[in-house]
């Protein structure tokens, strides 16, 4: 029997839960599955009830009886109310199973017909609740779901606590939620069964808040606004949704530098204690809420003479947190500051900002407060704001610079110099640097509605194109307009043609055309005296030449590195430093590549260049992965992906690299998910260049997962794409050896050898030593598949030494693993326990956990007693001639009586691949079993 009360789960509950709560949900669900109880706790609005309902819906079907209650503050004074909610509907089922005294006490408490109290009937009631739960559990598992334990009436709380502590092995589990701050859940835990797991719900990250807002339909909010919602809400999902709703209903967005509008519902929630403050204390808190980093000294300088006493009063009411060892004045929650500011009249806000504009010691903070204290245009205020924006830019705070730039534009007179739109475009460029692409695009589009000067329009078009990121196909209509605006000015034309070069590469996938367009851009920029654009164009030309395997790549890199240099271009992810790093990485100079990318990453972090940081963190992870530092690579890749998700920049590329890192050193299933995400994103964006990289990552993950057929399908597509793109340097994606290995595993050694031969020609021409070593390893696998094990082993020994000298730790370990597997196939006694020790040692050194697990499985499985070359003859029956090569080989070995494990060892494939191949054989031949294969081969069809 399942008792369901008013807790009908909303349809949207489960989707909300998985946003940021996946690990927490899994841990709680596992605890319930083990037979334990769960106590969810955390502050108001953090999502406890949502998780509680989802867990109850997910696990409730496992229980015969589900008892539910949900307390409220207004009813917490009513005795036994929660008890009535829990047992009211099952009283008839259990009453005759209780002793008379207990039944009378319980019925009296639940129905109100009598005057049962804990003082008079305490023991009988306590035992009655315990007996009732045991009686229900005798018929099947019981799940007790209780929300808002903090409002449980004291009588019910006492009775449930008594029973919970004495349930023992009784099949009764508790799933409860309670509002707490800090560690206050202890008393509720003491009233729970001994095996209860306490789970605290933490604030959501910015990316999770963004996903939650999107899920609820608030999809038009700029990234900068989402960031402010996250800051103001403190990651509290209820607060974030309320702020999002208020913004969605507000036709006028907040001005730059102003806090978000706080809806009345949240003001009442967080400011209920504000009326207990004195007027002076309230004004002091308003000044603190208007400041960026309020301290007691700042409040004194702003004219709040009694700041110590007034902040102490606020702290006593829970509005501020005490900082005994620091001077900072901190609000207990960011929402309190926002609500206090929103509640204040506009005149009082301006007065607070005016006081801070002279009291603050930082020039940026003084300028910001001066702007918010001033109404209308004011050239002097605008100039101070522009100076503060430049200072923020130099400090590596482009987000702050963008905000100050917009304030400067608002206070600049229409006929001012620089013009308001000049300052807006500078703010848009700062927003691009900070990764605030939505804000940048909106500013540029607004400027384009009124701009008439060609240079100004081209500058705005650049921002629009840059904001599109990898989705350049979405702004195709921009290019003809921009070319028309540029006219015959070489400087302006260079800016447009540089963007066209990127379009040739990303949208059309034509490296040769992209290279020519970049070279043309460099010539135009040189004629127009625009050194920055010339350097960007040369860097882009060098990068395309590197990937194409073009012989002029080293010469173009030298041109891009020639003085005079531009500091911004030098550290940009599309600059010469990046081109040089790519050359070093592809030329097997791993230590120098690592030091180069590390220096670039350090510089862009100093400058606050978020987009470049996302890319450089990923490239550093790639360098570590090639070096065989899989654990370090995985940490860097995950951080890059987190940053990409937070900023909305480079998501596909970061997912691709994280997939490679997961498949090498983490979770293969996660690697497959990320690779497919990267593939879908590249296809959605029409990004041909990254589509091949994403598919290569998918193929590698499939290979590690044991899905050789899937890997072949993905990597064949990579081969087709890169042939169409004109990419000939095999060091770019390094997928060729994986394709050859996968082809061997599915029984296509001939095609594998073709891949090796074509790739080797390009690798020899370009001097790609590590690629050549990997190809030799793959060729050894081809030889082994054809039965020439001695030649294969001889080549693998050389390969392992070469890869070790080049510093490719993971590839070295893979070569050692291949040797171990081949040695296990040699005639004679089965392999001993130490046969795979060298491979295991090398994979362990790399922290390549998925590969290490493969070694352990191979060592445990051993090898067949006899070994034969892969059978090359077709089966005798004409009915089997329609099978593919691998299918015929597997069928031939089945006919010989080989087991699946023996077939896997002899064909150098996984057992899973054998099983999948046999399934296809059965389907094609219309048979059901291995016995039918033998009968069919002998000409006796099974009926």
CA angle 496, 501, 507 (to 5 degrees): 115
pLDDT tens-digit readout, 749-775: 999 999 999 999 999 998 999 999 999
Give me 9's structure tokens. 């789960």
Q: What are the beta bridge partners of residue 295?
A: 328
**672 and 695 Cβ atoms separated by less than 8 Å:** no
Least confident among 60-69, 122-131, 364-373, 859-868: 859-868
Overall average pLDDT of the 139-147 stretch: 92
- Spatial CA neighbour of 651 closest among 625, 626, 674: 674
What percent of the chain lies above the pLDDT cut of 90? 41
Q: How confident is the model at residue 650 (pLDDT cuts 50, 70, 90)?
A: confident
pLDDT tens-digit readout, 53-112: 889 888 888 888 999 988 887 777 778 888 888 888 888 888 888 888 888 888 888 776
Q: Is 204 helix (H, G, I), strand (E, B) or coil?
A: coil
pLDDT tens-digit readout, 544-555: 998 888 889 999
**506 and 683 Cβ atoms separated by less than 8 Å:** no
State the Cα–Cα distance between residues 278 and 905, nearest whole angstrom. Answer: 82
Overall average pLDDT of the 365-371 stretch: 91
8 vs 881 pLDDT, higher one: 881
Q: What b-and-e string marks burial along 306-325, b requiring 16 or more CB atoms within 10 Å of the CB?
A: ebeebbebbbeeebbeeeee
Q: What is the pLDDT of residue 864?
A: 36
Strands 38-42 and 172-179: parallel
Q: How confident is the model at residue 231 (pLDDT cuts 50, 70, 90)?
A: confident
Q: Is 60 exceeded by the pLDDT of residue 943?
A: no
262 vs 898 pLDDT, higher one: 262
Overall average pLDDT of the 120-144 stretch: 86
- Start-to-end CA distance of the chain, whole Å, equals 49
Spatial CB neighbours of 716, under 8 Å, sequence gap ≥ 6: 739
**335 and 270 Cβ atoms separated by less than 8 Å:** yes
State if pTM tops 0.95: no
Q: How confident is the model at residue 790 (pLDDT cuts 50, 70, 90)?
A: confident
pLDDT tens-digit readout, 457-501: 999 999 999 888 777 777 889 999 999 999 999 999 999 999 999
- Spatial CA neighbour of 637 closest among 653, 678, 649: 653
Q: How confident is the model at residue 18 (pLDDT cuts 50, 70, 90)?
A: low
Overall average pLDDT of the 527-544 stretch: 95
Q: What are the beta bridge partners of residue 69?
A: 146
Q: Where are the beta strands (DSSP E) in 183-321?
A: 197-200, 320-321
Q: Using omega within 30 degrees of 0 as the cis cutoff, is the peptide bond preceding 895 cis?
A: no
pLDDT tens-digit readout, 683-722: 887 777 788 999 999 999 999 998 999 999 999 999 998 8
Q: Which helix (H) or strand (E) holds 68?
A: strand 65-70
State the Cα–Cα distance between residues 576 and 543, nearest whole angstrom. Answer: 9
* DSSP one-letter code for 95: G
Least confident among 77-86, 414-423, 535-544, 600-609: 77-86
Spatial CB neighbours of 61, under 8 Å, sequence gap ≥ 6: none
Q: What is the pLDDT of residue 157?
A: 86
318 vs 289 pLDDT, higher one: 289
Please state, in angstroms and as integers, the Cα–Cα distance from residue 628 to each residue in 271, 674, 806, 848, 858, following that order.
Answer: 55, 21, 11, 8, 21
**289 and 337 Cβ atoms separated by less than 8 Å:** yes
**576 and 569 Cβ atoms separated by less than 8 Å:** yes
């Amino acid at each position: 029997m399942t008792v369901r009360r008013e807790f009908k789960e909303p349809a949207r509950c489960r989707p909300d839960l998985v946003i940021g709560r996946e690990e927490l949900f899994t841990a709680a669900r596992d605890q319930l599955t083990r037979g334990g109880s769960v106590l969810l706790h955390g502050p108001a609005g953090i999502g406890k009830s949502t998780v509680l309902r989802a867990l109850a819906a997910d696990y409730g079907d496992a229980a015969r009886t589900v008892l539910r209650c949900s307390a409220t503050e207004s009813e917490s004074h009513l005795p036994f109310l929660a008890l009535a909610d829990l047992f009211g509907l099952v009283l008839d089922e259990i009453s005759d199973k209780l002793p008379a005294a207990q039944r009378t006490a319980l019925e009296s408490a639940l129905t109100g017909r009598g005057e049962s109290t804990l003082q008079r009937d305490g023991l009988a009631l306590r035992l009655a609740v315990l007996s009732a739960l045991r009686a229900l559990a005798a018929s099947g598992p019981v799940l007790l779901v209780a929300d808002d334990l903090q409002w449980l009436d004291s009588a019910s709380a006492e009775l449930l606590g008594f029973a919970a502590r004495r349930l023992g092995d009784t099949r009764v589990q508790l799933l409860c939620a309670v509002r707490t701050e800090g560690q206050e859940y202890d008393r509720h835990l003491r009233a729970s069964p001994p095996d209860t797991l306490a789970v605290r719900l933490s604030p959501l990250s910015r990316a999770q808040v963004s996903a939650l807002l999107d899920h609820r339909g608030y999809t038009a909010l700029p990234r900068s606004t989402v960031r402010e919602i996250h800051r103001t809400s403190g990651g509290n999902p209820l607060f974030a949704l309320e702020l999002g709703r208020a913004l969605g209903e507000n036709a006028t967005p907040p001005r730059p530098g102003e806090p978000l509008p706080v809806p009345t519902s949240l003001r009442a929630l967080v400011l209920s204690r504000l009326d207990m403050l004195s007027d002076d204390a309230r004004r002091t808190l308003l000044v603190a809420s208007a400041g960026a980093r309020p301290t007691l000294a700042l409040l004194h300088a702003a004219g709040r003479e009694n700041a110590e006493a007034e902040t102490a009063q606020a702290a006593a009411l829970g509005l501020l947190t005490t900082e005994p060892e620091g001077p900072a004045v901190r609000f207990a929650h960011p929402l309190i500051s926002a609500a206090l500011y929103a509640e204040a009249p506009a005149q009082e806000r301006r007065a607070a900002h005016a006081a801070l504009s002279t009291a603050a010691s930082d020039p940026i903070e003084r300028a910001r407060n001066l702007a918010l204290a001033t109404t209308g245009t004011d050239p002097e205020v605008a100039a101070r704001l522009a100076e503060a924006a430049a200072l923020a830019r130099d400090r590596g705070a482009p987000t702050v610079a963008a905000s100050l730039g917009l304030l400067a534009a608002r206070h600049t007179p229409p006929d001012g110099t620089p013009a308001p739109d000049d300052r807006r475009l500078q703010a848009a460029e700062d927003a691009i640097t900070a990764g605030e692409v939505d804000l940048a695009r909106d500013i540029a589009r607004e400027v384009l509605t009124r701009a008439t000067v060609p240079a100004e329009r081209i500058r705005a078009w650049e921002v629009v194109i840059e904001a599109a990121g990898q989705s350049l196909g979405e702004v195709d209509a921009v290019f003809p307009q921009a070319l028309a605006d540029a006219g015959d000015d070489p400087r302006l034309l260079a800016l447009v043609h540089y963007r066209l070069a990127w379009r040739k590469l990303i949208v059309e996938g034509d490296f040769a055309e992209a290279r020519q367009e970049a070279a043309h851009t460099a010539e135009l920029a040189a004629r127009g005296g625009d050194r920055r654009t010339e350097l960007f164009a040369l860097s882009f030309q060098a990068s395309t030449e590197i990937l194409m395997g073009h012989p002029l790549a080293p010469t173009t890199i030298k041109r891009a590195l020639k003085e005079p240099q531009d500091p911004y271009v030098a550290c940009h992810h599309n600059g010469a430093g990046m081109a040089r790093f790519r050359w070093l990485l592809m030329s097997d100079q791993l230590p120098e590549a690592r030091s180069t990318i590390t220096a670039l990453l350090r510089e862009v972090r100093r400058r606050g260049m978020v987009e470049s940081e996302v890319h450089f963190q990923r490239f550093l992870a790639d360098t570590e992965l090639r070096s065989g530092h899989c654990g370090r690579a995985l940490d860097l890749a995950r951080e890059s992906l987190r940053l990409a998700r937070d900023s909305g920049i480079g998501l596909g590329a970061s997912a691709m690299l994280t997939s490679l890192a997961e498949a090498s050193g983490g979770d293969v299933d996660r690697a497959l998910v990320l690779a497919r995400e990267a593939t879908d994103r590249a296809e959605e964006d029409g990004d041909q260049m990254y589509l091949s990289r994403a598919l290569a990552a998918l193929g590698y993950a499939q290979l590690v997962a044991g899905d050789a057929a899937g890997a072949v399908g993905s990597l064949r597509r990579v081969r087709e794409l890169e042939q169409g793109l004109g990419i000939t340097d095999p060091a770019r994606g390094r997928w060729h050896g994986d394709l050859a290995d996968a082809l061997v595993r599915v029984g296509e050694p001939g095609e594998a050898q073709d891949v090796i031969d074509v790739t080797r020609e390009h690798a020899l021409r370009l001097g790609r030593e590590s690629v050549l070593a990997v190809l030799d390893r793959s060729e050894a696998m081809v030889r082994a598949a054809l039965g020439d094990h001695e030649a294969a082993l001889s080549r693998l020994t050389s390969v392992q030494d070469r890869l070790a000298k080049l510093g490719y730790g993971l590839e070295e370990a893979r070569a050692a693993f291949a040797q171990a597997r081949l040695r296990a196939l040699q005639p004679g006694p089965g392999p001993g326990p130490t046969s795979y020790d060298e491979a295991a040692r090398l994979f362990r050194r790399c922290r390549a956990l998925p590969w290490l697990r493969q070694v352990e499985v191979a060592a445990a499985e051993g090898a067949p007693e006899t070994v034969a070359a892969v059978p090359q003859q077709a089966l005798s029956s004409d009915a089997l001639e329609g099978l593919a090569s691998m299918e015929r080989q597997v069928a031939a070995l089945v006919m010989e009586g080989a087991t699946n494990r023996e077939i896997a060892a002899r064909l150098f494939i996984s057992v899973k691949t054998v099983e999948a191949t046999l399934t296809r054989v059965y389907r094609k031949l219309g048979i059901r079993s291995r016995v039918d294969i033998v009968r069919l081969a002998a000409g006796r069809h099974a009926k």
